Amino acid sequence: MRSELIFYFDFSSAYSYIAQARIDAVFADVDADIRWRPILLGAIFRENGWVPVSPGSPKGDYTFRDVERTARLAGLEFGWPKIFPFNGMLAARLFYALDSVDAVAFARAVFHAAYVSGQDVTNPAVLEGLVGDLGLDCAAVTARSELEEVKARLRDETTAAMKAGVFGAPSFVVNGEVFWGADRMTDARDWAASGGW
């Protein structure tokens, strides 16, 4: 049976960066339709009354260190963006302004820019440069990203994620079953491959 996998992520989630770098390899042998869906984790946190972990708190310090060692173990280049967390809204709107193949390529480019090249992906000029690098029409895509239907799409995808049970990023929803965390991607893969257990 072909599985449906929704990959929910936020550009301002370092574990999402790790997940997107590994997702194709992890799911290589699984018959799955992988749908990339950026969401706004900030909206989900507000809904739940949470605040992001911060350096200086035990969980914050752990998380920052764990992201770095997890990236290192996975052989990934990684550097913290100068401002973190950042607002991934503009990047997410551009994602939904693109068709799906270009959108995934754009998402990968945004993650690389933010976590490898040290670029500010909240800056519209940086984002337009990434769109241009894909050989696309920057002006047309940017104009489309500002349409109410595209803004609504991002809100609707975030709401759909919450309705599916998502509360953090990255999350993987496999045929309706939620797995949370880059470290649970292999469980999501096994669930897809086996039909559940």
Interface ranges with its own copies (CB under 8 A): 48, 57-59, 61-62, 66, 69, 72-73, 162, 165-168, 178, 180-181, 183-184, 187, 190, 197
Across 24-115, where does the E strand assignment appear?
32-38
Report, in Å, the least distance between residue 133 CB and its own copies.
33
Q: What's the min distance (Å) between Cβ of 62 and its own copies? A: 6
Contact (Cβ atoms closer than 8 angstroms) between residue 30 and residue 192:
yes
Residue closer to its own copies (CB basis): 132 or 165: 165
User: Angle 142-91-141 (CA atoms, 0-180°, nearest 5)?
Assistant: 20
Least distance CB 94 / its own copies (angstroms): 28
Closer to its own copies by CB, 128 or 157: give it: 157
CA triple 123-9-70, angle to 5 deg? 95
Residue among 196, 164, 132, 194 nearest 7 (CA): 164
CA nearest neighbour of 147 among 91, 95, 97, 89: 97
Q: Please report how close the Cβ of residue 64 comes to its own copies at its closest, in angstroms.
A: 12
Q: Which is nearer to its own copies, 31 or 183 (CB)?
A: 183
Q: Which is nearer to its own copies, 122 or 171 (CB)?
A: 171
